[in-house]
Structures are given as C-alpha cells and as structure tokens.
Structure 1
Amino acid sequence: MALLPILVAPDPRLKTKAKPVEKVDAETAQLMEDMLETMYAAPGIGLAAPQVGVSKRVIVVDVAPEGEKNPLRMANPEVIWASDELREYEEGCLSLPEQYDAVTRPDRVKVRYIDHQNEIREIEADGLLATCIQHEIDHLDGKLFVDHLSSLKRNMVLRKLTKLKKSDPDLGQPKKVAAEV
C-alpha cells in the first residue's frame, strides 16, 4: 500500500468528470487500498480517486467511530434513490484543507456500486454516511462541496486556498505516518 498525494483546490483536475470503471481488477482494487490508507493518514472519512489525480469513478468512505474501521470501497457509485427529507451537515474536504461550511443534502440514499471484489452491491445509507457518499460522488462529477455554497462564500474559500498553496509547497503531499507495531 502507498500514501498518495491529495490534490488541493483550486486544481483543474478536481473539476473534471471521472471515467467509469469497466471492472474492478487488481489495479483498481489496489487503488482502493491506497486511497483508504491515504484517507486514514490524512485523516478523513472519505476520498475520491480524482482527489489523488486518478480520473476513475472510485470512492472510499469510512464513518466508523474513532478506533474502529468499517471501510466501503465503491466503483461507479450511483444514487438510485434519495429521500425527500434533507439534512444539513458541516462539511469539510481533504482537497479544501481547514475549510468547512454547512451543506444540505438528502438525509437518506440508496446507492448501487461495484465493490472491491467486482461484485455489484446496493447499500442504503442515512445521516453522516449518506452525506459522505454523496460528497464523494460529487467529486466524481467534478463538483466540490463549495459548489453548493453561494458564489461569494465559494470564491472566498478558493482565494484562501490559493494563498495557502503559495505559502505551503508541501500542502497535499502524503504525511509521514509512524509504522504500526
């Protein structure tokens, strides 16, 4: 497994629509594992392949409580049903470090995807898991959580990140993590 560099907005690769995965082969399964390792090290609860510079419709999420792991590896995830009930969450993003704002999304979703063993699966998710999956699917469509905000707020965030990138050349680079015992 390997830690991957995370792209930081504004980066044009984050605004590109990712390509579907034909099947989850060994290479895609390895990408999923590398993305999980990168996400845990960041630390985060979700990561999409475009965030690590790979234009594939692949996401990983894990909203398990701290100290536990319950990762989901998804290729070609698609929301096939969404509730009318909405929920607002304070969202952040590994590609927009230290930036947070409230985003309203459907509270529950049903998602179809291909898992890491190339099996078609469906999952019903609610609350934080539903929000996280929708956030990561947005990345696959070239959309960031700030795209759900007013243009004024979005532009303020992107200007802050542009300044931050200029002042910190290591921003987005893999963090060194201590070896597990």
Structure 2
Amino acid sequence: MEVRIIGDPILRKRAKKVVEFNSKLKEIINDMFSTMYLYDGVGLAAPQVGISLRFFIMDSREDNDKGKKIVINPEINEFLGENVLYEEGCLSIPDIFENIERPEGIKVRYQDIDGNFIEEELHGYQARIFQHEFDHLEGILFTDKLPIIKKTMVKKDLIKLIEKGKKRALELGDV
C-alpha cells in the first residue's frame, strides 16, 4: 500500500460515501493500519492510499487502544472550545511541519467497521487528528490552512513535492 503525495489529484477530490461494509473493507483497513504504523503516523485517510471513499483510521497512541479508531462516513456536528495552534505534519506532505489552528474539541458522528453509528465528543489530540483526517475526505490538506506568509516560506518545498506527487500518480495510472 503506497501513500500518495501532494500533487496526486486523488488528494484533492471529495471522497464518496462508503456503502459496503464487508471483508474487503476490513482488509483495506488492516493494510492501512500497517502502512500508518510503518511511517509512524497517527492517522491515515483512504484517499491517501488511492481510495476515494469516506473513511480513515487514527491512533493517538493512548493506553488500552482508547485512541485507536476506524472512522467511516464521518460528520463533524459541532466545534467546541477555543481554537488552538499545534504543529501538524502529514504522510502525504513529508518533512513539512507547521502550526495549524483548529478547534480544541468536536462532536462527531461516524460508523464503525460493522456500520454501527457512533456519536462522541473528542478533545485535544484526538480532536486534532480527527479534523486533519476529515479534511482529507474533503480534498483539503493541512497546508491549505497556513497563513499566506507561512505558505510562502514552504512554497519551494511544496512545489518539489507536488511535482513528485503528480509524476507518481501518472506512474500509478490514476490520472
């Protein structure tokens, strides 16, 4: 399973709703966890591995696997608390880390691997990961949220990555 890099068009598409909860989906999700851990990530959205469907995985690395989630067809229903600046990175934008402002908490609704609906309130690191991965399903990358001055500072690096991502997408035959 290969992580797509900024510049790959799939990262800019709004993903489609998951309608089939089957063994193939479970297999893909297991592969995604392996890939995410291989790259030491804390979240991975389906578009990042070339699948334009609305699901992601996350693991905030808390005790008892409390922070490990499979999130399918997510909705963010409410933003809670103050906006907080915190450094983010992304497996699809390697080696770029910047402070991004996001709400501290969220109320969410999503489906689990069996299609059951879950509603919960997330705060702190879990809320941040959820929002970051949710953005991927909307075709939004964390660098889109940077202030103009910060974007200018990373522009050269982003251009190189975008060219690499476009080239790789062509090689994979997805364009």
TM class, shorter-chain normalised?
0.7 to 0.9
Percent of pairs identical after alignment?
Answer: 39
Distance 1:6 1:17 in 2: 17
Counterpart for residue 160 of structure 1: 157
2:140, 2:152 → 1: CA distance?
14
2:10 to 7, 10, 13: 13
Cα drift, residue 7 of structure 1 = 0.5
SS in 1 for 2:131: helix
Partner of residue 26 from structure 1, selected from 17, 23, 27: 23
Q: Does the 8 Å CA contact 1:107/1:131 hold for their aligned counterparts?
A: yes
**TM-superposed deviation, 1:156:** 4.8
Give the aligned CA root-mean-square deviation in angstroms.
Answer: 2.2
In the alignment, which residue of structure 1 is the partner of 2:172? none
Q: Following TM superposition, by how much is the alpha carbon of 1:28 offset from its aligned partner in structure 2, in angstroms?
A: 1.6
Normalised by the length of structure 2, the TM-score is 0.85
Residues 1:152 and 1:124: Cα distance change in structure 2 (over 3 Å): same
Report 1:138-153 matches (<5 A). Answer: 138-153=135-150
Contact 1:48 1:59 in 2 (8 A): yes
Q: What is the CA distance between 1:151 and its match in structure 2?
A: 3.8
Aligned partner of 1:101 in structure 2 is 98
- 1-structure distance, mates of 2:155, 2:20: 35
Runs of 4+ in structure 1 displaced over 2 angstroms?
Answer: 67-70, 150-159, 161-166
State the number of aligned residues: 164
Q: 5+ residue gaps in structure 1? A: 171-181
Higher strand share: 2
In structure 2, stretches of 5+ residues that fail to align are: 169-175
The answer to whether 1:134 aligns with 2:131 is yes
Q: Which sits farther off after the overlay, 81-90 or 12-21?
A: 81-90
| Structure-2 change in CA distance of 1:161 and 1:21 (3 Å) | same
- 1:66-81 → structure 2 map (5 Å cutoff): 69=65, 70-81=67-78
SS of 1:85's partner is strand
